Amino acid sequence: MTDDRDPTPDDVIAAAERIAPFVHRTPVLTSRQLDEAAGAQVFLKGEHLQRVGAFKYRGATNAVQSLTDDVASCGVAAHSSGNHAQALALAARTRGIPAWLVMPRTSSAAKRTAVEAYGATVVECDSILTAREETLAQVLADTGATEVHPYDDPRVIAGAGTAARELLAEVPDLDVVLVPVGGGGLLSGTSLAVAAGRPSAQVWAAEPALADDAARSLHTGVRQPPLPPTSIADGLLTSLSDRTFRIVRDHVTDIVTVSEDEIVEAMRFVWTRLKQVVEPSGAVPIAALLSGLVPGERIGVIVSGGNVDLDALPWRSAAEQRT
């Protein structure tokens, strides 16, 4: 089980040193076309080029590498059908320990295959949250494995923050650091990294209007329940935890929302103009920039991931549109 404390900026610094041998130091990308469209200088931290195609590998690696040998020998487990499942599976394989991933039967075959290719054991369950939690609880009881939550874990949050720490090391004079938000692990870690490395900068987040619980939580001062998960940005359909809400409330300037059409157009812009494969969740903060919702002259953006189902792209071909 994870501890109950909130992570600190010092934890991000320690995480950066701990995971350095295992993660990619992803590039910072720029584009004149994006600058012109956004009306600002934009610096994209390319976590879509991270191992497993997402920033999630940072947090999973920090959590796994933080375990003592005795605890690690029993393995790790989580319930996830997305990037965290692949990240934890690879982090466990890298350390040479077992991993169990509880995944809904409705998960895509490609995601399950990727998790199994990293050597993890997939345990199927029904898709509802209670089924995932109950199945994971049984796995933990049967194996003695340690749970590594996708975002409600101080080790995962600290690891996620290392992306912003690297960004600030390369571009130290940013006005704003902008990230997507779902469960708040990346946003929380980014906030801590900015507090330590560039306290004068503001931290902003963007999320889909159809899944705007984080924005509502920040604006009301009370953690809000999530809406039914309907957004194309499927990596952002989780809700803030008590822990991530506390950090967001204390450190984040604002959270803005974007429409589904704006997400698709931002994704198309990045694919066609920057020639980068970015998933819908990773395109959400870029949609906010293109919509003029985020102020600032020098803006850093964490591009969270690039895992896209090429058989279900969110735009239609010209031929399909004519039919």
CA atoms of 314 and 173, how far apart (whole Å): 35
User: What class is the 57-147 domain?
Assistant: alpha beta
pLDDT mean for each 10 residues of the chain (323 residues): 79 98 98 97 98 97 97 96 92 98 85 92 89 94 96 97 98 97 97 96 97 96 86 90 96 98 96 96 97 97 91 65 43
Strands 202-208 vs 176-180: parallel, antiparallel or unpaired: parallel
Q: What is the pLDDT of residue 320?
A: 53
What's the pTM value of the predicted model, to 2 decimals?
Answer: 0.94
Q: What is the pLDDT of residue 318?
A: 43
Residue range 9-54+154-303, CATH number? 3.40.50.1100
Beta bridge partners of 203: 177
Q: What is the pLDDT of residue 228?
A: 79
DSSP 143-183: H-PEE--SSSSHHHHHHHTHHHHHHHHHSTT-SEEEEE-SS
The segment(s) of the chain belonging to CATH 3.40.50.1100 are 9-54+154-303, 57-147
126 and 158 Cβ atoms separated by less than 8 Å: no
Q: What is the pLDDT of residue 63?
A: 98
Which conformational region is residue 141 in: left (phi greater than 0), alpha (psi within -120 to 50 degrees), or beta?
alpha
